[in-house]
Amino acid sequence: MVYQKTIQKTVCVEGIGLHTGKPASITFKPAPVGTGVYIIRKDISGLPALKAQSRNVRATQMATVLGSDLFMVSTVEHCMAAVSALQIDNLFIELSGPELPIGDGSADCFLQCLKEGGILEYTELRKYIYITQPIYFSQGDKHAYVLPYNSFKLTCTIEFPHPKIGKQKIELEVNPHTFEKELARARTFGFLKDVEALKVKGLALGGSLDNAVVLDDHDILNPNGLRYADEFVRHKAMDAVGDMLMLGYPLIGHVVLHKAGHDVMHGFVERVMASTESYRIIELAQPLSYSADTEHLSLAPKFA
């Protein structure tokens, strides 16, 4: 986790778009050191590109949407979660249309594809946002804050008035291993009445029980049920990992979220970036120690 990374070879993910229901594909390509993560529309003349960062977020209502004057691309958070979890700093993501493929509604297809591409480590050090003072953001009864901590820890709580969800909480140190084991396969979820309303508006046309957990007023409609007993909060935590990639640098701190959807996460990212007195941009020396039992890293910061 100390050095910048990209992938070793070009790999692809194909599927359908959640909202259009049309074929969608992306191609991951290696990028030079110091590039960052860029999305490129290969179906548009001139191959316009934009960087995955907060200033390019255009909407957060049902998904994180990135855009520029030339194009928009929706539902990026699952892909970005996999990129962030694998600690990939430099990457070109080529798209054939306005949506990323939804896969099975989780981040797993992106994670496995990127792993197939292999990880290439550069000799240049990564830079991190190292939290030195608490930073807080809220919208009504929803909030997100970050506390000083010596690695990336995430605590996420959700609360829905549904008998199959209720109040759920997860807390974990986020690294490639814990992300794959605990978060990557958690699927997006929605309520049948909302899905039906979206389809009337020409949205969620690609949504099905194959790529989402769907609930009616009382139960889960998916024949095979859940992948985790608390799959709902795990998915929200996975979304948050993806949304935090928009910071531009990986974060070292303890992030605590309560009812935080994409809108709150975007506000939180903006608040963190503006709170320059509460963090430092650092590089890291080699980790001091690693415990396989707790999957916890002790880090030696080197201030940039």
**Nearest Cα residue to 108 out of 209, 185, 7:** 185
At residue 195, the pLDDT reads 85
Greater confidence (194 vs 152) lies with 152
What is the location of CATH 3.30.1700.10 in the chain? 128-303
Helix (H, G, I), strand (E, B) or coil at 222: coil
Using pLDDT thresholds of 50, 70 and 90, give the confidence band for residue 1. low
At residue 175, the pLDDT reads 96
CATH number for the region 128-303 comes to: 3.30.1700.10
What is the location of CATH 3.30.230.20 in the chain? 3-125
At residue 255, the pLDDT reads 98
Whether residue 285 is predicted with pLDDT greater than 80 in this model: the reply is no
Average pLDDT score over residue span 240-249: 98
Using pLDDT thresholds of 50, 70 and 90, give the confidence band for residue 301. low
Could you tell me if 6 and 81 are in contact, meaning their C-beta atoms sit under 8 angstroms apart? no
The reply to whether 262 belongs to the active site is: yes
pTM, 2 dp: 0.92
Whether residue 298 is predicted with pLDDT greater than 60 in this model: the reply is no
Whether residue 203 is predicted with pLDDT greater than 80 in this model: the reply is no
**Nearest Cα residue to 134 out of 275, 303, 300:** 275
The pLDDT tens digits of the residues spanning 30-41 come to 999 999 999 999
CA distances from 20 to 65, 96, 102, 247 (A): 14, 13, 11, 28
User: Catalytic pick from 235, 254, 262, 266?
Assistant: 262
Whether residue 149 is predicted with pLDDT greater than 60 in this model: the reply is yes
Average pLDDT, the chain: 92
Ranking 57-61, 115-119, 162-166, 298-302 by mean pLDDT, the lowest is 298-302
Per CATH, is 3-125 categorized as 3.10.150.10?
A: no
Backbone φ and ψ of 112, nearest 5° = -65, -35
Q: What angle do CA 40, 45, 46 make, to 5 degrees?
A: 65
Average pLDDT score over residue span 204-228: 94
At residue 19, the pLDDT reads 84
The whole-angstrom separation of Cα 272 and Cα 76 is: 21
At residue 286, the pLDDT reads 59
Backbone φ and ψ of 191, nearest 5° = -105, 135
At residue 236, the pLDDT reads 98
For helices 262-274 and 231-243, what crossing angle results, to 10°?
40
At residue 140, the pLDDT reads 95
